[in-house]
Amino acid sequence: MPTYALLVRPALNRVYADSSVDLMAAELTVFGERLLGGRIGGIEPTRIGGVPYLGFEADSLTERDTQHLANLSSAYALFERRDDLLAPVELTPLDKFDDDLVTILKYSGKTNEHFTKLMLNLAVASSDSAGEMLDRKLRVLDPLCGRGTTLNQALLYGYDVAGIDVDGKDFDAYSTFIQTWLKRKRLKHSAEVTRVRRDGKVIARRLAVSVGVSKESYKAGDALNLDFVNADTTEATRFHRAATFDVIVADAPYGVHHGSRADGGLHRGPLELVESAATGWARLLRPGGAMALSWNTNVIPRTALVDALAAAGLTPLDEGAYLGFAHRVDQAIVRDVVVARKAD
């Protein structure tokens, strides 16, 4: 059986770099089961010439197989091992725009972009839309989007994306960033910030962006849509119709408290926030949709978060490779991911 070696993409964050091979091994296992028909085995970290790789075995990889593998979160290059030689295998990732869309923005507390990509991959691969990952413009929601790392990664894939966040400063920062980036890239687009009114009252601000992958696609009306609502995530169903998203990806607050200022000063812990919001998030998922949620295990035990998603009507995937994503972020944060599906 042919054997392969995946070269791991360098990460600027040293702590994440130390975990990236093991994380991609679990991610590759999910891809193998959900996207490649279980034809991948022997997944094991290895070193070649002192450089970390992820080794695996597979029956002859098709072009579509390698297109899927090209989107692994930390994949840099793929080689087929032939005795002592490495034969390059061409990788064609989904990326529709320059990758500085996800790398250029730096700020304190930003979720590592490799990890954000991993969460998006897990949600898509675990959903009924897995087989359409390369072919269809999926709809992605991040209901705790902060300054938009997930929004940018989904846009990079060529997906429609929506975000919700209560922090007005994050909304303003992201609105400024994305409009500046689109202008600098000279991409055909429209962008507008409006006020959302209900019963004569302003309840939120909304950024609506439409952008073409090319001038031709934009003129033809085949644009990508980005929507960011500055509001409390527990009110997500006020801004989006039920059963309209293929996947949800969210990075829960890592600290003890998460502020919801929609009503003037309510403060919740991360678990309370998830418990309050998850039922609404689940309503927004299409049947067969999936959610990937990360959190700090030092603050919330895994069992508590799994129970919260189950109580919201989702089915947690709490076995096998899905238990392989815990890793240290810093002294106070050990991050993990739970994936849950909505019934077909």
Is the pLDDT at 259 greater than 70, yes or no?
no
DSSP character for 10?
P
Rounded CA gap, 184 and 193, in Å? Answer: 19
Sorting pLDDT into bands at 50, 70 and 90, what band is 232?
Answer: very high
The two structure tokens encoding residue 19: 């975990």
In the chain, residues under CATH classification 3.30.70 are: 3-89
pLDDT at 105: 80
The two structure tokens encoding residue 29: 């296992």
> What class, spelled out in words, does domain 100-341 have in CATH?
alpha beta
Q: Work out the mean pLDDT of the chain and round it to a whole number.
A: 92
Q: Which of 226, 70, 74, 204 is nearest to 150 (CA)?
A: 226
Average pLDDT over residues 232-254: 96
Average pLDDT over residues 335-342: 97
Is the pLDDT at 260 greater than 60, yes or no?
no
pLDDT at 106: 77
pTM comes to 0.94
pLDDT at 110: 79
Average pLDDT over residues 71-93: 95
| Contact predicate 151/145, CB 8 Å | yes
Q: Which of 110, 195, 182, 96 is nearest to 145 (CA)?
A: 110
| Contact predicate 96/110, CB 8 Å | no
pLDDT in tens, 196-226: 999 899 999 999 999 999 999 999 999 999 9
| Contact predicate 97/155, CB 8 Å | yes
User: What b/e string do you get for 111-138 counting C-beta neighbours within 10 Å, with b at 16 or more?
Assistant: bbbbbbbbbbbbbbbbbebbeebeeeeb
Is the pLDDT at 266 greater than 70, yes or no?
no
What percent of the chain has a predicted confidence (pLDDT) above 70? 95
Is the pLDDT at 174 greater than 70, yes or no?
yes
Rounded CA gap, 134 and 130, in Å? Answer: 9
Is the pLDDT at 36 greater than 70, yes or no?
yes
Is the pLDDT at 46 greater than 50, yes or no?
yes
Sorting pLDDT into bands at 50, 70 and 90, what band is 321?
Answer: very high
Residues facing 207 on adjacent strands: 193, 228
146: left (phi over 0), alpha (psi -120 to 50) or beta: left
Residues facing 210 on adjacent strands: 190, 225
pLDDT in tens, 268-318: 688 999 999 999 999 999 999 999 999 999 999 999 999 999 999 999 999
Is the pLDDT at 79 greater than 70, yes or no?
yes
Q: Any idea which fold 3-89 has?
A: Alpha-Beta Plaits (3.30.70)
The two structure tokens encoding residue 318: 């709490």
3-state secondary structure 63-76: HHHHHHHCCCCCEE
